[in-house]
Amino acid sequence: MTEQPDTTDSIDDETNSGSKTPIDGEFTVTPYAVKGEIDYDKLLERFGADPLTDEQIRRFPEHPMLRRRIFYAGRGVDRYLEAAETGEPHAIVTGRGPSGPMHLGHVLPLYLAKRFQEETGAMVYVPLSDDEKYLAKDQSFESIGKHTRDNLRDILAVGFDPERTRIVIDTADADVIYPLAVRLANYLTPATVEAVYGEQDTIGLQFYPAVQATHLLLPQLVDGRQPTLVPIAIDQDPHVRICRDVATKESLPVDKPGALLGRFLPSLEGPGKMSSSGDVPSIELTADPETVATTIRKHAYTGGRATLEEHREHGGDPTVDVPFQYLRFFFEEDDEELERIAKQYRAGELPSGELKATAIDRITAFLTAHQRGRDALGGLEDELEPYRLTDGERRRPLERAGVPMTTRSD
């Protein structure tokens, strides 16, 4: 199957502006602000991305988050699928902004990337944008550094294959990232950045899109032209758009990266994005079973009725029930089991408390496995070493981009 041309990819389109505060029924989604009730289909029109077709979903490695259209849209997906199917080189980039402890929503794209790596041998790049979070959040470098080290342990705990995974940290791998970002920044104008992200507070944040564009091109700059897919929550799509634009306009030996766009894991208080900054707590990856249980029991929005009697009579609504939505997103892999739960809930046979208990059970099982991986790690430096760019992998991207290291005389 060939891809439709990207006519809607324009980043100069006025509708892409995300700086306005939403009024009733409106919503804002940019990398720096998610507000209002999100209409995921409208968002695709705004961004100019395409819903995934049934065929595309069949061609991806089997995964509940695709089957259930949690990852529901994309750009340039077919070229990635072709390479994955024929065994040609292909890459995934999915990063982390280390502004705090990681919670359940943050780790979903990483586990998806791991599945892709296991199934088709994808090379996986995980950049950490400590620079971005220093600029975007009111935190010291020391604090961001602490979160970076902590987040690295969670990323390592996912268990990627070190032969096929590279983790880069913007400030620690600045020798590679910075010259490339400068090369790309030479093309990006303030008007473009503003059209895509809205107004930025500092020139630091205005520059950052060049850094994230570097992340997305890095697999190709290291290992040569190859289809690259970026599985991310949809608020990060502007970065992909910018990068696709730069990639075609600059004469770099790369293809435009594709995007695989996901919905937000709802926060416990109901529809919306799980956030570390709201009033309701989020479920952190280090949470112990007790904490998971009390947090969900106390804070999870339910689609159940006010009393057990009413619930038995009228039934509950799984579509707004957060514990059910968690099961659907990731934590109950078996479609038939999920359907059975939904049916019993609607029929009033399954009370909210029991549905919560099931969600607590599944989430705890997932976290226990994740935490086992985390606890088995030794010192961070040693653990990270096999995932870092090698000397050759540091040199090649700069040569490919025409910014060779000035300290090398040969």
Contacts to ligand TRP by CB under 6 A? 31, 93-97, 127, 129, 132, 212, 215, 230, 232, 236
126 Cβ contact partners less than 8 Å away, ≥ 6 residues apart: 93, 94, 95, 96, 110, 113, 155, 160, 165, 166, 167, 168
Q: How far apart, in whole angstroms, are the C-alpha atoms of residue 174 and residue 135?
A: 16
CB of 236 to ligand TRP, least distance (A): 5
Which lies closer to ligand TRP via its Cβ, residue 52 or residue 126?
A: 126
Output the smallest distance, CB 331 to ligand TRP, in A: 22
Planar angle of CA 397, 129, 237, nearest 5 degrees = 85
Q: Which of 85, 272, 250 is nearest to 181 (CA)?
A: 250
* Closest CB to ligand TRP among residues 97, 272: 97
For residues 232 and 300, which CB has a smaller minimum distance to ligand TRP in the complex? 232
The least CB distance from residue 299 to ligand TRP, in Å, is 23
Residue 352 one-letter amino acid: S
Whole-number minimum distance, CB 133 to ligand TRP, in Å? 7
CA 268, 270, 276, 281 dihedral sign is: negative
Q: Which run of H or of E encompasses 352? A: helix 352-375
Name the residue nearer to ligand TRP (CB basis): 114 or 311: 114
Minimal distance in Å, beta carbon 230 to ligand TRP?
Answer: 5
- Burial-class residue 364 by CB neighbours within 10 Å (0-12, 13-18, 19+): buried
Residue nearest to ligand TRP (CB): 95
Task: State phi, psi for 190 to the nearest 5 degrees.
Answer: -55, -35
CB of 138 to ligand TRP, least distance (A): 15
Structure tokens at 227: 């289809």
**Pick 232 or 265: Cβ nearer ligand TRP:** 232
Q: How far apart are CA 122 and CA 5, in angstroms?
A: 25
CB closer to ligand TRP out of 129 and 325: 129
